[in-house]
Amino acid sequence: MTYFGNNNLNSDFDKAYHKLLDEIVSQTSVAFYVLNLKNHSIEFTNNAFNSLFACQSGYFHKKDFSLFKDFLTEEDYLCFFKIHFQSYIRLTRAKPNKTVQEINILDKNLKQRTLKVSISSLSLSQDCKPSHVLVQLIDITIQKNREKELIESEKILHFISHHDALTELPNRKLLIHYLNDSILDFEKKQEGFTVIFFDIDNFKNINDSYGHKVGDSVLLAFSQRIKEVIYPGDILGRLAGDEFVLIAFNVSTDQQIESLAKKIILQFKKMIEIDELKFLVTCSLGISKFPDDGKTPGDLIKNADIAMYHAKRNGKNFYKTYEPNMTLEIFKRLETEREMMNAINEEQFEVYYQPQVNINTNEVVGLEALIRWNHPTKGLINPDDFIPIAEELRLIIPLGEFVFHRSCQQVQTLIDENLFNGYLSINVSGVQIERGNFVEFVKDSLGKTLFEPTKIELEITESVIMNDTKSWIDVLNNLKSIGCKVAIDDFGKGYSSLTHLSNLPIDKIKIDKAFIDDISETQNSRLITEIVMFLAKKMDLTPFAEGVESEVQRDILMSLGCEFVQGYFFSKPKSFNDIKNWLKSVRDTQCLEN
C-alpha cells in the first residue's frame, strides 16, 4: 500500500516536485489508471493508457468502470470486471495488496493484444485504509506471441520426432510408446491384442526402376489402402522403408486375425495408379499376439517380423502367425549368414559336376557346375540351405564368379587331358545380372582361363527371366554374340509359356524335375513333357530332361524322343577329382567296348 501524505502544494518546492511527478507519469510507457474505491470512478489515466485505448486525455476522468464496454468485447469486459471485483474483495479483506492477471483486448487498430493487469492498493489517508487502486496494464503481446510460437514449435518438433515424415503415421518411437501403454492396459483387463508387421513385396524394384518419388507415392497409397480396412482406434505406423506395423486392439482370436489378414491382402488385388503408371502391389504379413507371443514392444514387433519373413519365404502375398520354432529357424539363418562370410574368406566352397548325357549313345555331352559348401565341421551343406540366403545378401555374386572361373579352369584341364569334349553348363542368378557387368565378367574370365566361349552354356531359371523379359533380351543377345549358349532352367515351374520364350535368344529348355518325377505315375506329367518337347523342337530349341533317377523314367523319355538328360540314374554330382576319375573310367570302358 502506498501512502501519499498530505497534498499541500503551497511551497515552490512542492510545486516543482509535483510537476516532476507529472512529467514522470506522462513519460512512462506502462499504461495505468487510478480507480476510486468509494464511487468506482476513474480519477486518472496516463498518456500510455490514452494511447492504448485511442482516447483523448481526460476521456475517462470521473467516469465509472462501465465505460470500458466501449473499448472491450463483452467477453473481455466481463473478464476485466471480474479481475477488478476479485481485487476489491481481496483488498477490503486485508488480503495481499497486489493482484496480477492477464486479459486480451482489441487495440485501436483492432488487433488483439495481451495485457498483464497489475492491481495495487493506494491510500490517501493516515489510517492506511485503501481508498484507491492503481491498475497497471503492461503489454505482454510480444512475449505471449513468442510463447505461442515456442509452444507451436515444440508441438511441431514433437510431431516430427514421433511421426514418419512421408506418411505422417506414427514412427517406431511412437509405436513403442503406444505398445507400452497398450500392454499395461490390456494386462489389467486380462485381454489380448494383435500386432501385424507388413512388408511390401519387391518394393525395391519400384524404387530402382521408377525412382524414389514414385516409390514414395506408392507408399502413401499403400498406407491409405490399409487404413480403409482397419478398425477405428487401431494404430497403423511406419517403421522404415516399406515396413509398416499395425496394432489391432479389436482383433485377438485366430478367426478374427485370419479375417483381417485376408481383408488386407484383398485390398491389393486392384492396381495402385500413380499418374499414368499402374503397379500390382502385394504385401507379406507377419502376426504376433499379446500376451502369447511377447509381453514387451520389442518382442511383439520382433516376432511379427519373424513371422513376416516366413510369409515371404512361402511365396509372398501371404500371412503367417508367429510360432516359437520360427525363431530357431531365424537363429539358424543368422548363423548360416555369419558362417557363409567366413566360408568365402576361407575358401570352403568348391565346384561339383554332374554329367549330362545323350541317352541314345550314352555319350557325356556336358557337365553342369554346381556349388557345394564343404563346412569344416558340418560337412557338405545342401545348396537349398544357403543359396537363397546368398542371393538375399548378394553374396551370390562372388560365389557365382567363383563357380564360373573355377569350373572353366577345371573343365579346361579335362579337355586338355582328352577326358571330356562337351560343354560346360553354369547356373546364373538374377542378382548377378542385375549388377550390370556380367557380360564383361564372362569375357574377362574366358580370356583368363582360355576356355572356348562356344563350350559355355548358361542356365537361367524361368521365373527369373520372365520377371523382366525386356532387360534380359539385351543381356542374352550380348552373351550369344560372344558364342555362349543359353538354357532356360526349371521350365514349367514358373508361369511363362513357350510363346513367351520364343521371343528370347535361347537354345535349350530344361524341363522341371517335378514333371520327370511323376512321368511314370501320372498321365498329366507325361503329356506335359511330351507337349513341351514337341513345341520346343518346332521352335528349334533343344528339350532337356533333368532329375532322371530311374530306368523307367529314362525309357519313357527315350520313347518320347528326348535325347539329352541328367540325373542320379547316370551320376550324382561329383567333386573335380571324382568326376575326373569317373570320366577316365567311362573312357576306359568305351575303349574296351571298341
Find the CATH number of the domain harbouring 95: 3.30.450.20
Strand ranges for 142-280 from DSSP E: 193-200, 235-240, 243-248, 272-274, 277-279
Indicate if 223 and 81 belong to the same structural domain: no
The amino acid that residue 198 corresponds to is: F
State residue 196 phi and psi, 5-degree precision.
-120, 125
CATH of the domain at 475: 3.20.20.450
Quick one: 565 and 419 in the same domain? yes
Same-domain check for residues 134 and 240: no
Q: Is residue 572 part of a domain?
A: yes
| Residue matched to cell numbers 507519469 | 25
**Per residue of the chain (594 residues), what is the pLDDT tens digit?**
333 444 555 566 666 666 777 777 777 888 888 888 778 788 888 888 888 887 888 888 888 777 777 777 777 778 777 777 766 666 666 555 566 778 777 766 777 888 888 888 777 766 677 778 888 888 888 888 888 888 888 888 888 899 999 999 999 999 999 999 999 999 999 999 999 999 999 898 888 888 889 999 999 999 999 999 999 999 999 998 999 999 999 888 999 999 999 999 999 989 999 988 889 999 999 999 999 999 999 999 999 999 998 998 887 899 999 999 988 888 887 888 889 888 988 889 999 999 999 999 999 999 999 999 999 998 998 898 889 888 888 899 999 999 999 999 999 999 999 999 999 999 998 888 877 789 999 999 999 999 999 999 999 987 777 666 677 788 899 999 999 999 999 887 654 555 567 778 999 999 989 889 989 888 888 898 998 888 888 889 999 999 999 999 999 999 999 999 999 999 999 999 999 999 999 887 776 665
> Is residue 135 domain-shared with residue 171, that is, in the same domain?
no
Instruction: Assess if residue 249 is contained within a domain.
Output: yes
pTM across the whole model: 0.58
Q: Is residue 155 part of a domain?
A: no
Q: Is 524 left (phi over 0), alpha (psi -120 to 50) or beta?
A: alpha
Burial of residue 423 (CB within 10 Å: 0-12, 13-18, 19+) is: buried
Residue 79 CA to residue 66 CA, distance in Å, equals 13
Regarding whether 236 and 187 lie in a shared domain, the answer is yes
In terms of Cβ atoms closer than 10 Å to its own Cβ (0-12, 13-18, 19+), residue 567 is buried
CA angle 403, 409, 412 (to 5 degrees): 125
Q: Which domain holds residue 181?
A: 163-322
* 3-state SS string for 284-317: EEEEEEECCCCCCHHHHHHHHHHHHHHHHHCCCC
Number of folded domains that form the chain: 3
Residue 327 lies in a domain: no
Same domain, residue pair 105 and 240 = no
Asked if the structure places residue 226 within a domain, the reply is yes
- Domain termination residue (choose one: 115, 145, 175): 145
d(CA 545, CA 356): 10
Specify whether 573 is located in the same domain as 470: yes
Quick check: is 278 in a domain?
Answer: yes
Examine residue 81 and state whether it is found in any structural domain, yes or no.
Answer: yes
The answer on 198 and 114 residing in a single domain is: no
